[in-house]
A and B are shown apart, each in its own frame.
Chain A
Amino acid sequence: MFISIQNVCFSYPNTDRAALNQFSMTIEKGEVISILGRSGSGKSTILRLLAGLEKPTEGSLTIQGEVVFDGKTFLQPEKRGIGMVFQDYALFPHMTVGENILFGLFQLKKTEKKKRLQEVLELVELQDYEKRYPHQLSGGQQQRVAIARAIAPNPHLILLDEPFSNLDAELQVKIRKDLRGILKKANITSIFVTHDENDAHALADRIVKLKEGYIEVIGRPCDLLGIHRQQAQQSLPVQEERELVGV
């Protein structure tokens, strides 16, 4: 067991409704997990809680044997060793691609920094772009820089928030393939959030379906396909069935 999330609850300030309710799951090392749900289902909240950007109201979080949150402890985000790729990438506009990637490598020696930078640039196939600024890159390239920056410090876990939402349809398919390749090559445990069933099925080892802060289903993509079909046949009204199969 690499990551353990136990009975985590969370609600945003000034609201009554819980964004997340008694959420529990465990994740193994190297697994690619997809959290699937509509907007408002609480899927991004899980990422923010794991990252330490929000604090759960109850429950506990353990990453690689270290308790990062329970009633007594709260480990600040910068101490958690988690990488995150933001929905709009959040590349620092005043730094070049190289500087962005080096930003998290301040603990390494100069020669090691250079080496690591070249490694990750190679991994995302952007070797010649070190000196460019983010605004000089295409959307797909920006996203790869964001991934490279998150992976560079060798995090225990990488979180991706809607990684495909800002890309056009054609690019999505290509990047989906690339991303799975990059993640598997780096052997980093990862969790990504999406509202698109196709993304989840193409990328994930396991899928978590969220609905209004609760886990609806959890399982391998192939298992979930079966469940969908069953549910669709048994009880769901026509309209929802359509949405589920993505028509």
Chain B
Amino acid sequence: MQRRLANVNVWTVTAAIIMILLFLPHLTIVTSIFSPSNENWAHMKEYVLGSFIKTSLILIGATAILTILIGLSLAWLIAQYQFPLRRFLKWALILPLSIPPFIGAYTYHGIVNFTGVIQTTLRDRGGMDLNPAYFDIMNLPGAIFIYSIFLYPYVYTITRIFLSQQSASLIESARMLGKGPWHIFFQVVIPISRVSIIGGASLVVLEVLNDYGVVKYFGIQTFTTAIFQTWFGLGDIESSIKLAASLMGFVILILMIEKLLRGRRQYSYSTTKVRPLPLIQLKGWKAFIATGYGLFIISLGFFIPIAQLIDWMILTFGTIPMGEFLTYVKNSVTVAGITATAIIVFALIVGNFSRLVYGKIAKLLPKLTILGYSIPGAVIAVAVVTAFIALDRFLEPLYRMIGVDTTLVLSVSLMMLISAYIIRFFAIGFNSIESGYDKIGTDFRDASRLLGVGLTKTFIKVDVPMLKGAIISGFILVFIDVLKEIPLTLILRPFNFDTLSTKAFQYASDEKIMEASQASLLIVCISALAIVVFYKFLEKEPD
């Protein structure tokens, strides 16, 4: 007790306040489980909840399997073999991540639909009149394809980095023991990369559960679309909170399964010494297949949709007034910039706190705030709106005092949207900052304090400069995630406030696919640029 009391200072108090604010909205959801339910909810529980769960399970199950197949095979090829275009493919294979799945979804729909490039070509040039139903991708398998082709980089990146940096001695000793490549792949590579594979796949699963754009566009009923419908269609906030609580339960279940699958091996690094895996040269048809496979995936996940988007943009350029478009850009950059800055500042404070304080509770609190990333946007939206409306009610006397004649002030402001972003994406910034703190350790801080410099000044003069890399990469990651975000922005934005992503989504939903291309391309370009900067320069990975 004495130890804990002595540690109370400006830092710990600020950190505690931040963590409580980040966590509070989730509590409103949890408590809703205990509130009495209404008719709508009873109806939903009886007739539709089961089908949401079934659809979600199929979506995440199939997507997880496909992303693992694609991600792991590519990771292994790049980590172990030398073949033409390998260096290019190594980082280009991450690029599909820069295309938000909803943009990918409407682009692919545009490519394969009746007036799309494939069917028109077949009709006009090939003289074939095929049944349009063959080309329908607006269904469950179509959604699975979209998710897999745009989300596999999560598995690919994590597994490849693990394989090329950590597995050299294991794989080489397997080779010395006379095992062939297939043997090694199944008996050594898969078991040792289990933690990274599961880590990547669970990110994919959480992304799928969070997604609203693809399923809405394809007309597939899932938790997220149901939360929206109950809220806006039925105007029943209570039931949508209950739906959100069910989805949250679902996510917690997945996190538990993930922990179980990882087993006791919670860490993927067996040694801190990085020894790159030497590459084996592929020749002849083997090299051809390897290059071809990589190019095939990257074309599906990046080049084909980009080519289509560029084509549409050229066709529609000028139809959207430039001034209007620039407003969306300004809005996007403003909210993403404010959010990323706030998250980095908060993460620095909370990260510093978890270094300074002992005890299980102190270590657990930051972990709880990370939960925000696994909680789908629709759930956070519900939670934040509920919290802000309560806050407005609480502040009503104050509003009257200063002569504001409306009762809703905060809950119609941009602050609500930004708060929701912060809760949702805090984990991304925090992970980056925390690993930065881990890397520098506590010796530098201790050394500074023993030279007579206090905690706050040490933080500014020693910690922040040493964390520069982590700060920049955390900022970039949060920034592009906010840029691509859909469900939170749609629900929580102030009236008439549009960003690049909401505008792209609206155009696509209104079947103005071509008009959506301009905003989409800008999102993709910024994200792709950030990814290249991030992996090629900040991570400074050897080739």
Contact = CB atoms under 8 A, between A and B. Distances in A.
A153 B451 contact: yes
Contact of B462 (A55, A92, A149): A92
Interface stretch (B199-207, B208-216, B441-449): B441-449
B447 A90 contact: yes
A92 B449 CA distance: 13
B336 to A, nearest CB: 28
Given A90-B443, A92-B466, A93-B466, A153 B452 contact: yes
A14 B360 CA distance: 8
B448 A74 contact: no
B177 to A, nearest CB: 35
Given A55-B3, A90-B443, A84 B466 contact: no
26 contacts: A13-B359, A51-B450, A55-B6, A74-B6, A76-B454, A77-B446, A77-B450, A78-B450, A78-B451, A80-B450, A84-B446, A84-B447, A86-B443, A86-B446, A86-B447, A90-B447, A92-B447, A92-B448, A92-B462, A93-B466, A94-B465, A103-B448, A103-B461, A104-B452, A104-B453, A149-B451
A51 B454 contact: no
Contacts of B358: 13
Interface string B253-265: 0000000000000
Contact of B444 (A52, A82, A92): A92
Interface of chain B: mostly helix, strand, loop or mixed: helix
Contacts of B451: 78, 83, 103-104, 149-150, 153
B6 A106 contact: no
A88 interface: yes
Give the interface size bracket for B toward A: 20 to 34
Contact of A82 (B448, B450, B466): B450
Given A55-B2, A55-B6, 7 more contacts: A53-B446, A53-B450, A79-B452, A81-B452, A88-B443, A150-B450, A153-B452
A10 to B, nearest CB: 11
Interface of A: 13-14, 51-53, 55, 74, 76-84, 86, 88, 90, 92-94, 103-104, 106-107, 149-150, 153
Nearest to A158: B450
A55 B357 CA distance: 12
Interface in B323-382: 358-360
Contacts of B465: 94
Interface of chain A: mostly helix, strand, loop or mixed: loop
Interface of B: 2-3, 6, 358-360, 443-444, 446-455, 461-462, 465-466
A77 B462 contact: no
Contacts of B3: 55
A110 B537 CA distance: 39
B449 A77 contact: yes
A82 B358 CA distance: 23
Contacts of B444: 90, 92
Contacts of A107: 452
A78 B9 CA distance: 15
B170 to A, nearest CB: 28
A120 to B, nearest CB: 13
A232 B200 CA distance: 58
Contacts of A83: 450-451
B201 to A, nearest CB: 32
Nearest to B453: A78
Contacts of A81: 452
A81 B452 CA distance: 7
Nearest to A82: B450
Contacts of B446: 51, 53, 77, 84, 86, 90
Interface centre among B358, B449, B462 (most CB of A within 10 A): B449
Interface centre among A77, A84, A94, A103 (most CB of B within 10 A): A77
Contacts of B449: 52-53, 76-78
